[in-house]
Amino acid sequence: MLLNGALVNSCLIPVLQAADADITTIEGLGQGPQLDALQTAFLACGGAQCGICTPGMILAAAHLLDKEPDPTLEEIREGLSGNLCRCTGYMQIFDAVAEAVRRRNCA
């Protein structure tokens, strides 16, 4: 999740530390029923299989794209490196982030 704009592992944040903080979870990324470009790119590229890692991957990618709107593959790998995926082999995830960047640049 994003806590006051910082990427954190939600399971490691004591609840009192989150009190009165600005918190963004995967549910808050899109606009109501409209998915964010990252979410649609994950769907299009097969970046989610079981879905366990997906919220963390997408929020880490959103944090990365806020800091670096046109990342290289290496920057994408580094930006998502705190998240583990047992399903995809990572390439679909990296492709999804790159696809979201392409979609944002074409919009």
Q: Which positions touch ligand FES (CB under 6 A)?
A: 48-54, 85-88
* CB of residue 21 to ligand FES, shortest distance in Å: 27
CB nearer ligand FES, residue 51 or residue 69: 51
> Is the alpha carbon torsion for 9, 32, 72, 99 positive or negative?
positive
Q: Bridge partners of 3?
A: 6, 23
Q: Which amino acid is at 40?
A: T
Least separation, in Å, of the C-beta of 92 and ligand FES? 9
In the complex, least distance from residue 28 CB atom to ligand FES, rounded to whole angstroms: 21
Cβ proximity to ligand FES, 29 vs 57, nearer residue: 57
Backbone φ and ψ of 3, nearest 5°: -115, 110
List, in order, residues 6 or more apart from 99 with CB less than 8 Å away: 41, 44, 45
Nearer to ligand FES, 21 or 44 (CB): 44
